[in-house]
């Protein structure tokens, strides 16, 4: 078999590792990767969500819009049909109710008739496609504003939703769901963090962390708990982002609500106690009111996207295997502590630097970006992936342009001795557990370490070495030379041809005729006899003649042949 190259072996190992991880569809590591991919693809930009909704709405009403703008109108019936379609288009685009509701259609028709006279309708159908689209957009905004004003004035309440009230209810419901989800996540995080914290001990003299495991827990179980903690921490980060986005949406909703009420008040003041109003004064106000109405609809879509993302992330975490029993066994008799409890243990302490002062301790400010999501870099490096939140109240350590937080003051001293060493350990760990790359936001560091030599990137201290001479035997294995060995297969074939000596042979072929014989059984004559003739013969009785009685003769007559005589003679001689 041909020897595989190093690149090919690496490729095969990579494929094997990928297949193995993808086959474990309920493992915490794969669930974390799925969460990261889904959130990066679906976490929305508000403008993109609105544009997506508008595109979907345009696709649904494209056929209706084409009939309004492209069909030629000749008769009066065709004109009425066009404006009936315009009414349906206004209801669908502006969210004024269901087009199947007759009351909604009638009220929209009244609003349209108050905007357009017969001459305006006749002029509309004579416009070309481009002018019809522009005119239709203005008609939508004005008719929608009139309907909103009529609803607020109490003239009509059929079919239209009270969007400000619906938005407040939707916001409160979404906020409650996110807070409940966050509380459930933090319960898992506190359990896992306390269990992992109980399994480690600080060896400050040797500047390392020692892992202490009970007899019924293996190192693989400990790795599963670490991966599970990363998964719940990732879910926590995404949930907090959704809560922050929800708070920003709530602020915008309140701002729009104030503007919405002020526009309605201005329109009421303009039309109050007046029978006739110039259209150039009131129609722009209706258009402005419609734009705010459309913003309310956009915020409803945003709230729906937040609920969908939250539900999907929760469903992914629920598919993961449960390790609660394992966490409680590792926790033992220790208590469960929250992040606040851990921070209170180091309250009032300050970070200290060593003699070398490769780093600088600075005070933490709210706008400062802390690397590794404020987790302690020393715990990540020495405990092989244990996530311990750092305490920024003690100060942060500045290395070059990056800032790092620590859990205990001694960890900053160890980090100051060789910062690149611990950063390189974190990068190496992230290359083994790829879910940490997106979670800790260290893609740039991992990419730099891959493209360049580690010593050039992190400037690691060279280990202490010394020169040493080693001599080995010249031939540690006795030589064995086979004179009959042939490495070339053609040499073997050449020898085989010589052995056969085909040049002195002649090849002949023969073929025998194939005779086919068939044996049959000839018919056999058989006979049967059903009657047997039999006969009987009786004894014929003859009369007996009685002979006369005579006296016996003294003479006896013998008969002898020559053969009898010779045999008798021979017997005597013997």
Least confident of 263-267, 274-278, 283-287, 301-305: 274-278
**Residue in the block written with tokens 């209810």:** 169
Q: What residues contact 444, with CB distance under 8 A and at least 6 apart?
A: none
- Residue 440 included in any domain: yes
**Residue 464 domain flag:** no
* Span 312-325, average pLDDT: 91
Identify the pLDDT of residue 531: 63
- High-pLDDT (> 90) share of the chain, %: 36
Query: End of a domain among 331, 354, 377?
Result: 331
Question: 144-147 long-range contacts, Cβ below 8 Å, gap at least 24?
Answer: 144/90, 144/94, 144/96, 144/286, 144/290, 144/293, 145/283, 145/285, 145/286, 145/287, 145/288, 145/289, 145/290, 145/293, 146/111, 146/114, 146/115, 146/286, 147/96, 147/107, 147/108, 147/111
DSSP-assigned beta bridge partners for residue 209: 202
**pLDDT value, residue 199:** 92
The 10s digit of each residue's pLDDT in 371-420 is 999 999 999 999 999 999 999 999 999 988 899 999 999 999 999 888 98
Contact 436, 380 (CB under 8 A): no
Do 273 and 148 lie in one domain? The reply is: no
Same domain assignment for residues 111 and 235? no
What is the DSSP track for 14-65? HHHHHHHHHH-TTSHHHHHHHHHHHHHHHPPPHHHHHHHHHHHHHHHTHHHH
Q: Are 219 and 281 within one domain? A: yes
Mark whether 313 and 200 lie in a shared domain: yes
Same domain, 175 and 322: yes
What's the sign of the alpha-carbon dihedral 331, 335, 340, 346?
negative
pTM of the model: 0.74
By C-alpha distance, which of 442, 391, 396, 434 is closest to 415?
396
Mean pLDDT for all residues in the chain: 83
The residues facing 203 across adjacent strands are 208
The number of beta carbons lying within 10 Å of the beta carbon of residue 39 is: 20
Has residue 41 been placed in a domain? Answer: no
DSSP state letter for 202: E
What mean pLDDT comes out for the span 291-301? 92
12: confidence class by pLDDT, cuts 50, 70, 90: confident
pLDDT given for residue 155 in this prediction: 75
Answer yes or no: is pLDDT of 228 > 70: yes
Whether the per-residue pLDDT at 2 is higher than 50: the answer is no
* Residues 106 and 127 both lie in one domain: yes
Task: Say if residue 318 is in the same domain as residue 370.
Answer: no
CA–CA distance, 33 with 439 (Å, rounded to integer): 9
CA–CA distances in Å: residue 230 to residues 46, 201, 223, 227: 28, 21, 11, 5
Cα R_g (the chain), whole angstroms: 54
**331-369 tens-digit pLDDT:** 988 899 999 998 898 888 898 776 667 788 899 998 899
Asked whether residue 308 falls in the same domain as residue 345, the answer is: no
Looking at the fold, whether 357 and 319 belong to one and the same domain comes out as no
Q: Look at the block and give the residue holding tokens 């309907």.
A: 147
- Residue at which a domain ends, from 418, 451, 484: 451
Does any domain span residue 63?
A: yes
Q: Which helix (H) or strand (E) holds 391?
A: none
Q: What is the mean pLDDT of residues 13-24?
A: 84
- Measured between alpha carbons, how far is 159 from 161 in angstroms, rounded to an integer? 7
What's the whole-number mean pLDDT along residues 271-281? 68
Instruction: Give me the mean pLDDT over the 106-135 stretch.
Output: 88
Q: Give the number of domains in the chain.
A: 3
Check residue 545 and give its pLDDT: 52
In tens, the pLDDT along 441-499 reads 998 888 887 766 544 444 444 455 667 777 777 777 777 888 888 888 898 888 888 88
Q: Specify the 3-state DSSP secondary structure of 70.
A: helix
Task: Look at residue 233 and tell me whether its pLDDT is greater than 90.
Answer: yes
Q: Which two tokens stand for residue 228?
A: 């599970």
Residue ranges making up the domain that contains 274: 163-331
Share of the chain above pLDDT 70, in %: 81
Is residue 193, in this structure, part of any structural domain at all? yes
Residues contacting residue 316 through CB under 8 Å, at least 6 positions apart: 31, 34, 35, 38
- Interatomic CA distance for residues 351 and 403, integer angstroms: 13
Structure token digits, residue 168 = 């407040």
Residue 529 lies in a domain: no
Q: Are residues 324 and 256 in the same domain?
A: yes
**Which uninterrupted H or E stretch holds 461?**
none
- Assess if residue 560 is contained within a domain: no
Q: Is residue 244 located within the same domain as residue 327? A: yes
Q: Which has the closest alpha carbon to 382: 193, 207, 190, 194?
A: 207
Torsion (CA) 472, 473, 475, 477 in degrees, nearest 10: -90
pLDDT at 23 (0 to 100):
87
Picking from 405, 428, 451, the residue at the C-terminal end of a domain is: 451
Q: What is the dihedral of CA 342, 346, 347, 349, to 10 degrees?
A: -160
Q: Stretch 176-199: mean pLDDT, rounded?
A: 95
Is 194 among the domain residues? yes
Backbone angles phi, psi at 211, to 5 degrees: -95, 130
Q: Both 192 and 306 in a single domain?
A: yes
195 token code pair: 């269990």
User: Is it the case that residue 28 has pLDDT exceeding 70?
Assistant: yes
- List helix spans (H) across 319-451: 324-331, 339-345, 377-382, 409-417, 419-432, 435-440, 443-451
Report the distance separating Cα 221 and Cα 219, nearest Å: 5
454 or 196, which is more confident? 196
61's CB contacts (< 8 A; 6+ apart) are 89, 92, 93
């Amino acid at each position: 078999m041909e020897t595989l190259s190093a690149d090919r072996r690496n490729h095969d190992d990579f494929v094997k590792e990928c297949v193995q991880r993808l086959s474990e569809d309920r493992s915490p590591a794969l669930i974390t990767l799925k969460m990261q991919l889904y959130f990066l693809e679906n976490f929305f930009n508000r403008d993109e969500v609105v544009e997506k909704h508008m595109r979907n709405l345009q696709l649904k009403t494209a056929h209706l819009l084409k009939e309004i703008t492209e069909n030629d109108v000749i008769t009066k019936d065709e004109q009425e049909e066009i404006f009936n379609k315009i009414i349906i288009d206004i209801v669908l685009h502006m969210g004024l109710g269901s087009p199947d509701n007759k009351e909604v259609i009638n009220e929209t028709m009244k609003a349209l008739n108050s905007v357009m006279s017969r001459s305006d309708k006749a002029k509309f159908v004579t416009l070309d496609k481009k002018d019809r689209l522009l005119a239709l957009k203005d008609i939508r905004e004005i008719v929608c504003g009139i309907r909103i004003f009529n609803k607020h004035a109490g003239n009509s309440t059929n079919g239209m939703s009270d969007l400000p009230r619906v938005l407040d209810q939707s916001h409160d419901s979404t906020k409650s769901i996110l807070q409940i989800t966050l509380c459930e996540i933090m319960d898992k995080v506190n359990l896992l963090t306390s269990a992992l914290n109980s399994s480690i001990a600080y060896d400050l003299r040797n500047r390392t962390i020692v892992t202490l495991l009970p007899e019924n827990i293996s190192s693989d179980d400990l790795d599963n708990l670490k991966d599970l903690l990363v998964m719940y921490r990732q879910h926590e980060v995404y949930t907090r982002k959704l809560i922050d986005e929800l708070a920003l949406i709530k602020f915008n909703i309140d701002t729009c609500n104030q503007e919405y009420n002020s526009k309605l008040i201005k329109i009421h003041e303009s039309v109050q106690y007046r029978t006739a109003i110039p259209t150039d004064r009131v129609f722009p106000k209706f258009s402005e009111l419609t734009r705010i109405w459309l913003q309310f609809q956009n915020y409803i879509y945003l709230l729906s996207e937040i609920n969908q993302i939250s539900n999907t992330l929760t469903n992914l975490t629920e598919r993961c295997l449960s390790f609660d029993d394992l966490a409680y066994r590792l926790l033992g008799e220790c208590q469960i502590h929250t992040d606040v409890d851990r921070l209170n243990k180091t309250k009032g302490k300050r970070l200290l630097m060593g003699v070398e002062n490769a780093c600088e301790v600075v005070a933490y400010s709210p706008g400062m970006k802390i690397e590794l999501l404020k987790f302690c870099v020393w715990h990540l490096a020495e405990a092989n992936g244990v996530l311990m939140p750092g305490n920024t109240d003690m100060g942060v350590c500045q290395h070059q342009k990056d800032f790092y937080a620590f859990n205990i003051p001694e960890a900053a001293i160890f980090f100051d001795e060789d910062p690149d060493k611990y950063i390189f350990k974190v990068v190496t760990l992230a290359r083994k557990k790829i879910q940490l790359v997106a979670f800790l936001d260290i893609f740039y560091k991992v990419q730099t370490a891959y493209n360049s030599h580690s010593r050039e990137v992190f400037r690691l201290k060279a280990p202490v070495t010394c020169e040493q001479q080693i001599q080995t035997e010249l031939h540690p294995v006795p030589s064995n030379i086979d004179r009959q060995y042939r490495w070339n297969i053609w040499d073997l074939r050449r020898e085989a041809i010589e052995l056969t000596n085909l040049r002195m042979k002649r090849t002949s072929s023969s073929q025998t005729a194939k005779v086919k014989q068939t044996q049959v059984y000839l018919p056999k004559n058989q006979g049967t006899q059903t009657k047997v003739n039999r006969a009987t013969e009786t004894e014929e009785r003859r009369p007996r003649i009685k002979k006369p009685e005579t006296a016996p003769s003294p003479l006896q007559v013998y008969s002898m042949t020559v053969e009898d005589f010779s045999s008798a003679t021979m017997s005597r001689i013997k």
